Structure 1
Amino acid sequence: MVTVTINHKVYEVEEGSTILDAAASVGIHIPTLCYLKGINEIGACRVCVVELAGKDKLVASCNNRVQEGMVMYTNSPRVREARRGIVELILSQHDCYCSTCVRSGNCGLQRIANDLGILDLPYQRELPVSEWNKRFPLIRDFSKCIKCMRCIQVCDEIQGMHIWNVANTGSRTTVDVTWNRKIEDSDCALCGQCITHCPVGALRERDDTEKAFAALADPDKITVVQIAPSVRAAWGEPFGLPREQATVKRLVAALRRMGFRYIFDTNFAADLTIMEEGSELLEKLGRPEAARFPMFTSCCPGWVRFLKSQYPDMVGNLSSAKSPQQMFGAVAKSYYAELLNVDPKRIYSISVMPCLAKKDECAQKVLNDAGVGQDVDLVLTTREIDRMIRAEHVLVSELEEEEFDMPLGVGTGAAVIFGTTGGVMQAALRSAYYLATGENPDPDAFLEVGGMQGWKEASFRIADRTLRVAVVNGLGNARRMMESIRTGRTTYDFVEVMACPGGCAGGGGQPITDGAEFAQVRGEQLYELDKENTLRFSHENPAVLGAYRDYFEKPLSQRSHKLLHTQHKKWECPLSPYLERNRSDEAY
């Protein structure tokens, strides 16, 4: 510890800590726009400057460290004047139409400008303009970018994708897609981490809420909506609901109040995925000479885009099982249409997902196996459904809980943990053990592959074989694992990969709280829901068993293959510019 004086008071703070962290440790807030601990500590915005006694120049608090006897002022007249001037300059190149911004009320720049009492600008406003494909799931608004570099650092340091970089020089400096590409031609995985770490509204998802409202208003459409596992752990955050109150059943009530016809749980399809994927794994293990190992999970479309763009020769290792979202869409327009006795063309399938890549996934031309257009018509992020709830003036805190519709509203605890890293693997192992032995394991026997660690390995004895597995979250970790597999340093039978750190709980479509990471908290909530569930094995889901009995016959049946599996090689995705261009078409 060292002794420092902050704003005329003496404190003991940790030696070697930054001024920013030291001040925070004693309850003193220093505003900042660009800072992300351990990721972006470059002092680019200069908003966090402080005054040090004996120093002529103000210093950035985010990358200067405390020293014994240091005397500092975090909000002196000199600091306030400098900070105000810096923010005014930023605002002079910023689209300040806050009422039409997706981040209004949740914007770092807006908050700091309000705190500083900035009511007008002394500078002429010059807004940068650039074209962008508004049909792409990821939208960038150049007129809102504050050049904080967060998106670059998150994409480079955490995800290892290098999609963003600095373009131009001087006052024309901005952030743009690398290699002088258009975003739709890039190898962006659509993980959305750049969005969740942007302090302003320069990056956002393509807004599809008007399409959803139009479907709700169309009397000829039967709206069928599914809610992903991780959404239940996050949707209530923007409303200030305590986590114990922001239940999925209260979200069901909100959606029903808005006019959605049938409301189901993606957990049903997650359990269905386990039945298909687990059976596929056991089939491959039974004929290893004809199979490719490791088998990769295929639930995460961000991971699928990554694999196709970075390692196209290994796409054949993906499980052919569709993601739960796509399985549900196919089921809704086939099996469920028969249960309703309606024309499947009338069903309009909507997903509420924590993810941007799901918007791209549902549009893939190959995912139309029910034969009435795309199996999933529309994907809304958690943020979008929250905006729709606000637009409908639904007071969620006053709603009573309501149940999902049946039969596709039944899900198990194994399906709930699909929403966090390691959950798919645990769910798969629970059912694979049963399918191989005829007995249920302890549902908590595979907790070793849980947790926030970026790359986890484990071995489990199932029947007469030892299964070697790995679980990875975050694309930077995925790349390290892939290189290890390709060079032969590691060998696995089964691998789960989630594109986002922490899995879907930290997805790019989840609510944003600037400077806070909630993936672990949300993931822990999903594990609690698993433990509270009376059903903890996918193979015990009565609705899934009923669907096999009445429609699909069994896992990997002919109808199952048609509706619940896909050919990933037919997905469209640009190659990484780092790959050799002379790869044969057959390789990918």
Structure 2
Amino acid sequence: MGYMYVDGMKIAIEGEKNILEVIRKAEIEMPTFCYYSELSTYGACRMCVVENEWGGVDAACSTVPRDGMKIKTNTPALQKHRKMILELLLSTHCRDCTTCSKNGSCRLQELALRFGVKQIRFKNNRPVKELDTSSKSIVRDPNKCILCGDCVRVCQEKQGLGIIDFAHRGSNLQVMPAFDMKLCDTDCVNCGQCAAVCPTGAITVKDETEKMWDYLNDPNKRVVVQIAPAVRVALGDEFGVEHGKNVLGKAVKALKMMGADSVFDTVLSADLTVMEESKEFLERVKNGGTFPMYTSCCPAWIKYAENKHPELINNNISSCRSPMQMFGSVIKEWHKQSGDERELVSVAIMPCTAKKYEAARPEFTENGKRIIELSLTTQELATMIREAGIQFADLESEYLDAPFDIGGSGAGVIFGVTGGVAEAVIRQCSDDKSSGAIKEIKFIGVRGKDEIKEAVIQVGDREFKICVVHGLANAEKIIQATQNGEMYYDLIEIMACPEGCIGGAGQPFAISPERDKRAKGLYHTDERVQIKFSDKNPSMQYIYDEIIKNKSHEMLHVHYEK
């Protein structure tokens, strides 16, 4: 173990890849725009530069720590340097901060305030560029881009897509899709991870809260809301609640206060998904069907497969709809049977930006009308709660509404974390339904945040190989390996976002430690509920017998148009 000196403090070097990480151990918060520990080091913004013992400057994010190294983090020269960078960035930046969707959470705004940048001496001579609102999920505003490259790297390194990149040179440098195409004309999968890492308002999630307010305030509309599993362990982050704490009851209360007529839990339809997907999987086994079978819950993954691997659509990929769409169909049929003459507005609160795209797909319409009228993100719900003046952290919990007030099983709850869908299917297919069997399943390899995980289970006299993947770049590796005959799997779970839905772009932004707490929150909820298996949920029989009846395939499955 070596040591280095940070502002005179002796700090141990314990395998950190750069001096920025060592500095943070010394409880010094270095300013950065372009550094994310989960992405490659870019070193473009130069905000994290430090002064070495010879008076030179080094970028903390790209300098390897060495034994005996001495640096300073806050000299007059460094202060002047950082203020100049901020002033230059702001000189070419749209400064309509009060109306920007990132107002209050913008990194540029935060650092300008921190370093006391009060005026801009340089005139902005750049022409105003057009906003790209073509995507169903995100909005791109080139006027707010600071060229940090975060979006470029996350799209290439994590999703393997490279939809946006740097174009031109020098003062004309921009970040854009190839040939400045609209996002809707590219192979963008709407995962929104570019918006999640963007430090300014250059790429943001499309805001549809005004539509929601209109629905809630219309007496002729019956607004029914479903809440996804991952939302309950992330929404509290926006209101100072302990990271990973389950706030489903508070969310139900807040939605009812804002005017929602009924609030349900998407965990219930996750149980439906487990029932249908397990049935489909076992039928493939029995009939010698196509393997591997891929899960179908993630709309960004479905879009990726359509773009890159159309041979998997309606073949290897499960025909099951996502839990959101399954519940949408169930709610629609339940509404018809209820006798309520108001117009149904089915709304989903999701951790995912791609759900906005999924909701608008023609496959999920009935008589020209969307099954899910509106898909809002966790952050959009938080915005509405603040707008309504609701003191979320102080709310008492409220129960879900009948007839789906029982909610879902523990198997449905863990859908929100990578490996959760696979584990739920394993539970359902397993011959052993004892508590001991569930404990064993925990340790077979589907849990954890590794980007690619493998597990083997025994069902009857047959052994099944399972793969769990998050990140589309990793998914491509597995697809290539299976198609080339290098690997064989029976079931492959794919989620586009880091660690699954808990890391969705619609969630409050979180890096790995915070996502870990969300995962623990979902597993803790699973441990606390009495029902561990989807088929043991008493609501399943009611839904199948009274609502779905003989329309299971029509309501719960989908055939995608290639």
TM-score computed with the length of structure 1 as normaliser: 0.91
Match of 1:564 in 2: 556
Aligned counterparts of 1:485 and 1:390: Cα–Cα separation in 2: 48
Aligned counterparts of 1:380 and 1:494: Cα–Cα separation in 2: 30
Measured at CA, do residues 397 and 551 of structure 1 come closer, stay the same or move farther in structure 2, by a change above 3 Å?
A: closer
Aligned runs of 1:185-584 on 2, under 5 Å?
185-243=185-243, 247-288=247-288, 291-315=289-313, 316-338=315-337, 340-343=338-341, 346-369=343-366, 371=367, 373-409=369-405, 410-433=407-430, 442-447=437-442, 448-513=445-510, 518-553=514-549, 558-568=550-560, 570=561
Measured at CA, do residues 458 and 16 of structure 1 come closer, stay the same or move farther in structure 2, by a change above 3 Å?
A: closer
Match of 1:579 in 2: none
Measured at CA, do residues 41 and 404 of structure 1 come closer, stay the same or move farther in structure 2, by a change above 3 Å?
A: same
Once the two structures are superposed, what CA deviation does each residue of 1:275-314 show, in whole Å capped at 9, x if it has no partner?
11111111111100xx211111111101101111111111
Aligned-pair distance for 1:443?
2.5
Aligned counterparts of 1:377 and 1:178: Cα–Cα separation in 2: 32
Aligned counterparts of 1:211 and 1:127: Cα–Cα separation in 2: 34
RMSD: 2.0
Q: Secondary structure at the match of 1:103?
A: coil
The residue type paired with residue 108 of structure 2 is L
Q: Secondary structure at the match of 2:223?
A: strand
Measured at CA, do residues 128 and 261 of structure 1 come closer, stay the same or move farther in structure 2, by a change above 3 Å?
A: farther
The residue type paired with residue 551 of structure 2 is R
Match of 1:573 in 2: none
Aligned residues: 557
Aligned counterparts of 2:433 and 2:64: Cα–Cα separation in 1: 60
The residue type paired with residue 563 of structure 1 is M
Aligned counterparts of 1:16 and 1:506: Cα–Cα separation in 2: 24
The residue type paired with residue 144 of structure 2 is K
Bigger Cα displacement from structure 2, 419-428 vs 166-175: 166-175
The residue type paired with residue 404 of structure 2 is L
Aligned-pair distance for 1:167?
1.3
Measured at CA, do residues 544 and 336 of structure 1 come closer, stay the same or move farther in structure 2, by a change above 3 Å?
A: farther
Aligned-pair distance for 1:15?
6.9
Aligned counterparts of 1:487 and 1:125: Cα–Cα separation in 2: 53
Aligned-pair distance for 1:516?
6.2
Give structure 1 stretches of 5+ with no counterpart: 571-587
Q: Secondary structure at the match of 1:41?
A: coil
Once the two structures are superposed, what CA deviation does each residue of 1:365-400 show, in whole Å capped at 9, x if it has no partner?
11124x471110000010101001111111112211
Aligned-pair distance for 1:169?
1.5
Aligned counterparts of 2:2 and 2:527: Cα–Cα separation in 1: 45
Give structure 2 stretches of 5+ with no counterpart: none
Aligned counterparts of 1:272 and 1:305: Cα–Cα separation in 2: 22
- Contact conserved, 2:236 with 2:393, CA < 8 A, in 1? no
Aligned counterparts of 1:422 and 1:149: Cα–Cα separation in 2: 30
Once the two structures are superposed, what CA deviation does each residue of 1:446-494 show, in whole Å capped at 9, x if it has no partner?
2221111111112211123222211111111101000001101111221
Aligned counterparts of 1:304 and 1:471: Cα–Cα separation in 2: 16
Once the two structures are superposed, what CA deviation does each residue of 1:381-421 show, in whole Å capped at 9, x if it has no partner?
10101001111111112211100102224211111000000
Aligned counterparts of 1:245 and 1:460: Cα–Cα separation in 2: 31
Aligned-pair distance for 1:107?
1.9
Q: Secondary structure at the match of 2:506?
A: coil
- Contact conserved, 2:16 with 2:22, CA < 8 A, in 1? no
- Contact conserved, 1:238 with 1:511, CA < 8 A, in 2? yes
Bigger Cα displacement from structure 2, 61-70 vs 389-398: 61-70
Measured at CA, do residues 334 and 38 of structure 1 come closer, stay the same or move farther in structure 2, by a change above 3 Å?
A: closer
Aligned-pair distance for 1:181?
2.8
Aligned counterparts of 2:498 and 2:184: Cα–Cα separation in 1: 23
Match of 1:574 in 2: none
- Contact conserved, 2:91 with 2:120, CA < 8 A, in 1? yes
Q: Secondary structure at the match of 1:4?
A: strand
- Contact conserved, 1:333 with 1:372, CA < 8 A, in 2? no
Aligned counterparts of 1:14 and 1:333: Cα–Cα separation in 2: 57
Bigger Cα displacement from structure 2, 118-127 vs 314-323: 118-127
Aligned-pair distance for 1:14?
4.1
Aligned-pair distance for 1:224?
0.4
Once the two structures are superposed, what CA deviation does each residue of 1:83-127 show, in whole Å capped at 9, x if it has no partner?
110111011111222221222222221111111111111111245
Residue identity over aligned pairs, in percent, reads 37
